[in-house]
Structure 1
Amino acid sequence: MDIVAALPAFVVAVVLISASPGPAMALIMRRAALRGLSGAVPTVLGLEAGLYVWALCAGAGLAALVAASEVAYLVLRVVGAAFLLYLGVRSWRAAWRSRKAGPAGEADRDLPGASPRTWWRAFGEGAVVMLANPKAAAFMIAFYPQFVPADRPLLATTALLALLQVAVETVLYLALAAVVGRAGTWFRRPAVRRQLDAVSGTVLVALGLRMAVESR
């Protein structure tokens, strides 16, 4: 298989995968709704950094070890599920505090104008959500070998393909964040924001519970 000839199929597969609903999509949409495009950038970059780490692990054979190890797989699944539940409960608490406090109680940390600390926290959330997902490891070891020719070095070729995937997903996710962010003023209305926090919290909790109970 020629790697250049396989690139169109690879890009199409990446686009379809990126469009699949999941924790990444939920985080990006909530972040963009509350903070606009600029506020969603660190979340997207964190997710893609985590994805690239998993891709390198897949190329080096480490992801296969994680996927094959019952203990490692279970630990990642528990950590990933717990973190999604934490994010979901935090959204619920934000909705509850906003309901009790009213418009005057809106938290500055979720309004435009992110501080460096807020930026890195959003980046870290995205990275942890991706890195603590054992399904990502299983996906990488199944996905990338299909596009790596037998005569090519696995790690180097996987690293290059992963850079392409990161570039494609970053463009797609930022485009989504830009579309959602354009309605940011509406989303940041107290009543709408409460509903957004409640709904996004429910989605994140549901995803966390699914990750906790689902098998391989």
Structure 2
Amino acid sequence: MVHPYAVAGFLVALLPLIATPGASLALLVRQVTEGGRGRAVPVVLGTVTGLYVHAALATAGLSALVMHSSQAFTAVKLAGAAYLVGLGVWTWRSAVSPASPVSPMSPALSRPHRRLPTFSGSPYLQALLANVLNPKAASIYLTLMPQFVTPGEPLGGQILTLATAHALLVALWLLGWTVLVGRAAHALRSPRFKELGAKVTAVVLIALGIRSATV
């Protein structure tokens, strides 16, 4: 078992990393702005699932292979960067695609509204992939977490405990933002602000992707 002081120290070390805005926060703000607080749930769940994926890979030793192989690390980094840039481009396109004006007497009203195809599935899948394809998230479990693991104790249980603490902290952070954004929902849901918010989210995602590819 992990000592409570070790868990507390791990969480304190994670705070600066969690507080740094990333893809999960950008996706959450977009979803809450468009559909209310309930839309934050799949983003939080997707992010948390991604953390457990990294924990499982670290336990299996697969993450270590990626981190110690420059080719594998570069491949994962570029895949994650491409995903974020693609998601950002799709978000921008969905923001700038105006709805076609339709006359009240037009027969088009009887047809279903045409929507842009969803990029990479649901918000849950978007958040999951954004986390899983982030090599920096994997590095947490390979560089930071070992400092809080007790030698000689079963590794799987310790990683699971620390990953659960990590997931709870991330969930609380994202839910706190959900409350803040939700309180301003009446202003955030105006068409002009929704378009601006989508564009800002797109720019953030593209910038994160470019940064991930070049750092």
Q: Which residue of structure 1 aligns with residue 71 of structure 2? A: 71
How many angstroms does 1:13 deviate by? 2.5
Q: What value does the CA root-mean-square deviation take over the aligned residues?
A: 2.7
The whole-number CA distance in structure 1 between the counterparts of 2:48 and 2:125 is 11
Query: For 2:100 and 2:47, how far apart are their aligned partners in 1?
Result: 33
Note the alpha carbon deviations across 1:64-103, whole angstroms, 9 max, x for none.
11111222212211211111111111121122113x657x
Q: What is residue 54 of structure 2 aligned with on the other side?
A: 54
Q: Deviations over 1:146-181 (max 9, x none)?
A: 111112122221111111211221122112112212
CA distance in 1, matches of 2:206, 2:65: 28
Q: How far does the alpha carbon of each residue in 1:162-211 deviate from its partner, in whole angstroms, 9 at most, with x for none? A: 11211221122112112212222321211111111111111111111111
- Residues 1:121 and 2:113 aligned together: no
Q: Looking at CA atoms only, which structure, 1 or 2, has the larger radius of gyration?
A: 2
Q: Distance in 1 between matches of 2:175 and 2:89?
A: 26
- Name stretches of at least 5 consecutive residues in structure 2 with no aligned partner: 104-112
Ranges of 4+ aligned residues in structure 1 off by more than 6 Å: 107-110
Contact 1:15-1:169 at 8 Å conserved across structures: no
Note the alpha carbon deviations across 1:84-137, whole angstroms, 9 max, x for none: 111111121122113x657x9xx8989xxxxxx99x711100110011111222
Contact 2:10/2:145 (<8 A) preserved = no
1:136 corresponds to which letter in structure 2? A
Q: How far apart are the structure 2 equivalents of 1:91 and 1:184?
A: 20
TM-score (norm 2): 0.85
Give distance in 2, aligned partners of 1:84 and 1:158.
Answer: 28
Identity of aligned residues (%): 35
Does the 8 Å CA contact 1:36/1:181 hold for their aligned counterparts? Answer: yes
Answer whether contact 1:59 1:156 (CA < 8 A) is retained. Answer: no
In the alignment, what sits opposite 1:96? Answer: 96
Task: Give aligned pairs, total.
Answer: 204
TM-score (norm 1): 0.84
CA distance in 2, matches of 1:156, 1:180: 36
SS at match of 1:149: coil
- Counterpart in the other structure of 2:110: none
**1:20 counterpart residue number:** 20
